[in-house]
Amino acid sequence: MAGNTIGRALKLTSFGESHGSMIGGVIDGFPSGFPVDVNYIQESLNRRAPGIQSYSTPRKEPDIVEFVSGVFEGKTTGAPIAYIIRNTSQKSSDYDHLKDVYRPSHADYTYARKYGNYDHRGGGRSSARETAVRVAAGALCNRLLHQYGISITGYVSQIGPFSIPGCYTELDLSKVEQSSVRCPDPLTEQLINSYLDDIKAQGDSAGGVVTCVIKGVPPGLGEPVYDKIQALLGAAMLSINAVKGFDYGEGFYAASIKGSEHNDTYNIVDGSIVPATNHAGGMLGGISSGQDIYFRVAFKPVSSIGKVQQTVDKQGNPMELVIGGRHDVCIVPRAVPVVEAMAAIVISDLMLMAGIIKPNIQVDN
C-alpha cells in the first residue's frame, strides 16, 4: 500500500490499523535541538480522542504517545522521530457480522477491488483512528511554528443545516474549547446541540464544516504553479477521513459575486502597502500574502449508522444491514484538531523549504 507519506522537506509517514496493536508515525526532516513538549502533544491528542464528547463514539482510548527514536534528553536530534500510540480498547467482535458484507459508503468495496481483501474490524487502515498519528505530528509542528509567531485555530462553523453567520473576524476564537461542539457562537451551538440530539435519537448521523484560521504566516510561501500553497493545504485536508470539500477565502461564494465585490484593493497605511480586505484568504497566485490564511473543510455524515440499510454481501446477495458497535453521531467536533494538525504540518514543511526554519534551530542556546 503506497501513499502513506506527506511532505517534502518535512515528511510524515503513518502506519497501523484501527484494531491492530498500535498506530504510529515517523517524522523525517524535523529540525534538531527543539524541546519536545510531551504534555502539549498529549493535550492535543486528548482533544481528538474518542469517548469524550456526547456525540462521539464511546470507545475510550488513552492515546498515550510513546517516542521511540529521534528524541534525546527531551529534544529532537535531527534523526527520524518515530512514535507509537497503542490501541487498548478494541472490540473486534462487534464487527464479526460484517466480515462478508460491504457496508454502504465505507471503503470495504474499493479496498476489496484494489487489494483483494479488507479489514472489516473498524475499517482497518481506512479508519479515522489513523488521524491520531497526524495530531501527534501536528502538535510538534504547531509548537515549532509558535516560535515564529504563527498560530492555527480551527472551529466548527457548521453542523447539518446550522452554520455561524458572518466572518471569523467577528468571533472570539479563544472560546472554541469552551463549547461542547467547538462552535464559538453560542446561538449556533445551541441549535447544533438540539439537532444532534434528534439525529442521535433517530440512529442517524450528521456532517458539517470546520473553519481554520492561520495567523502570522510570512509572505512568500508556496510555488506559483503546481505547488500552490492552497493546493498543498487542499491536498492535506482532502486526505482526512470523511472530507468531501475544501475551499479558501470566499471559496465557492466567489462564483456568485462580481469582481468589484471580490477584489482586494490596496491602501497605504503609515507608508506601507496594506490590503483593504482579504477575500483571497491570505493566498494570491499560489503564494502566501502575509494576511490571515483561512479555509473551510466539509465533512460528510458518519457512514456507520443505526438505521436499516440495503446492501449486498461478497457474493452479491441482497441483504438488510444494521451496523452495531461504537460510532460517532458526528465527527466534526473531533475533526478540529485534525484539521489544525494537517495545517501545521503543511506550513512547517513550507517554512523549511523556504529556509525560514533551519535544520538546526537550537531554540534555547
Instruction: Summarize pLDDT for 114-126 with one digit per residue, the tens.
Output: 888 777 666 767 7
C-alpha cell at 192: 447544533
Interatomic CA distance for residues 319 and 214, integer angstroms: 47
Strands (E) across the chain are located at 5-6, 11-16, 22-28, 65-69, 71-72, 75-76, 81-86, 151-159, 162-163, 208-215, 243-248, 266-269, 272-275, 283-284, 287-288, 293-299, 309-312, 318-321
CATH no. of 5-353: 3.60.150.10
The strand pairing partners of 321, in sequence order, are: 309
Q: Beta-carbon neighbour count of residue 62 at 10 Å?
A: 13
Q: Are the CB atoms for 28 and 10 separated by under 8 Å? A: yes
**Confidence grade of residue 242 (pLDDT, cut at 50, 70, 90):** very high
- Residue recorded with cell 513538549: 37
Least confident of 88-97, 158-167, 235-244, 351-360: 88-97
In this prediction the pTM is 0.92
Q: Which residue has the higher pLDDT, 302 or 195?
A: 195
Nearest Cα to Cα of residue 79 among 27, 9, 140, 153: 27
Please tell me the predicted confidence (pLDDT) of residue 67: 97
Q: Report the SS3 class of residue 182.
A: coil
Angle value at C-alpha 82, between 81 and 88, nearest 5 degrees: 145
Amino acid identity of residue 309, one-letter, is: Q
Interatomic CA distance for residues 100 and 165, integer angstroms: 45
Most confident of 57-61, 119-123, 293-297, 356-360: 293-297
Phi-psi region of 356 (alpha: psi -120 to 50; beta: other; left: phi over 0): alpha
Please tell me the predicted confidence (pLDDT) of residue 304: 85
Angle value at C-alpha 131, between 281 and 9, nearest 5 degrees: 65
C-alpha cell at 93: 467482535
**DSSP assignment string, 57-86:** --------EEEEESEETTEE-SS-EEEEEE
Instruction: Summarize pLDDT for 17-51 with one digit per residue, the tens.
Output: 887 889 999 999 999 999 999 999 999 999 998 66
Instruction: Summarize pLDDT for 263-284 with one digit per residue, the tens.
Output: 999 999 899 888 999 999 999 9
Domain boundaries, the chain: 5-353
Nearest Cα to Cα of residue 244 among 316, 322, 296: 296
| DSSP 8-state symbol, 300 | P
As a whole number, the mean pLDDT across the chain is 90
Instruction: Summarize pLDDT for 80-113 with one digit per residue, the tens.
Output: 999 999 988 655 555 656 677 888 877 788 877 8
Please tell me the predicted confidence (pLDDT) of residue 28: 98
